[in-house]
């Protein structure tokens, strides 16, 4: 636990600090525990850091009435978190919400980034599944009723389906989604998550900025995708190749939370491309 922007920030740490750093940016509705199977597979090659964002996991969760839950703000705090640890040269793994957070940091500090693993971490219109049309309707004409309807996003059955959809029967353990469900009962959870759902529109507006970063700096990039993900569809993985010739794409027979079924495979892909 460290203080980042005066907030207690929880993180998981493993490996030798003398090895290349790999920062693991989690997604929604999860936290750093989503990397529990990946970290042991990579600890021989990397110094691994997996933080929980404010309002997620074990990190401090300020009341949304006194704290701005936006992706700009979360990225700013994660930037400060890295500065507190003295880490300014690293690989980053971005998943789901981790993509707009990680790419904001990359745009601001391109010299910090050694390479990127994007696992269902979308920054292209091509990667947006059908549900995003309904989100756009909410963003364009928000009402209290529409906002309230998104409470279903963190209902237990929705979270379980998000983990299991597109995966082989029996390939996903309950550990990850049951902990995510437990976190939904924390004080103020719904309000802070609904704020972020509304703010997600600003991530899509920044897609051209993220793409320009890729065009200009061309980092080594591994786009490894659960190809059955209905939220961030696999053309979003292929789209990286338009802007970054150093992109390698791997499509896995899994869903959104591909690490739950393919952690060993993803670890081998990372080692094969970056080590």
Torsion, Cα of 203, 209, 212, 214 (10° steps) = -40
Q: Verify cis geometry, omega within 30 degrees of 0, for the bond prior to 29.
A: yes
For residue 131, report the phi and psi dihedrals to the nearest 5 degrees. -60, -20
Active site residues: 256
For residue 33, CA distances in Å to 123, 212, 236, 242 come to 24, 32, 25, 32
Measured distance CA(53)–CA(62) in Å, rounded: 11
Q: Which of 11, 198, 236, 20 is nearest to 118 (CA)?
A: 236
Tokens of 76: 């700013």
Any idea how long the chain is? 275
Cα separation values, 158 from 129, 164, 165, 167, 198, Å? 16, 10, 10, 15, 18
Only one residue has tokens 């997604």, namely 27
């Amino acid at each position: 636990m460290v203080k980042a922007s005066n907030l207690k920030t929880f993180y998981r740490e493993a490996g030798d600090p003398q090895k290349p750093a790999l920062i693991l940016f989690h997604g929604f509705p999860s936290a750093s525990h989503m990397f529990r199977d990946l970290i042991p597979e990579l600890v021989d090659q990397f110094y691994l850091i997996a933080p929980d964002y404010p309002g997620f996991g074990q990190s401090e969760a300020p009341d949304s009435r006194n704290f701005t839950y936006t992706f700009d703000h979360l990225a700013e705090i994660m930037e400060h978190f890295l500065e507190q640890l003295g880490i300014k040269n690293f690989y980053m793994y971005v998943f789901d919400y981790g993509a707009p957070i990680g790419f904001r940091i990359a745009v601001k500090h391109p010299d910090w980034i050694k390479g990127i693993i994007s696992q269902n971490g979308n920054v292209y219109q091509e990667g947006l599944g059908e549900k995003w049309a309904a989100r756009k309707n909410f963003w364009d004409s928000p009402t209290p009723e529409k906002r309230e309807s998104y409470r279903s996003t963190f209902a237990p059955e929705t979270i379980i389906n998000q983990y299991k959809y597109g995966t082989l029967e029996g390939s996903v353990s309950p550990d990850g989604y049951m902990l995510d469900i437990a976190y939904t009962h924390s004080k103020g959870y719904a309000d802070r998550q609904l704020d972020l759902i509304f703010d997600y529109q600003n991530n899509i507006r920044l897609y051209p900025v993220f793409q320009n970063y890729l065009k200009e700096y061309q980092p080594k990039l591994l786009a490894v995708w659960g190809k059955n993900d209905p939220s961030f569809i696999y053309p979003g993985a292929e789209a990286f190749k338009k802007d970054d010739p150093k992109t390698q794409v791997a499509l896995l027979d899994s869903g959104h939370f591909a690490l739950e079924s393919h952690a060993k495979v993803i670890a081998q892909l990372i080692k094969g491309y970056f080590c």
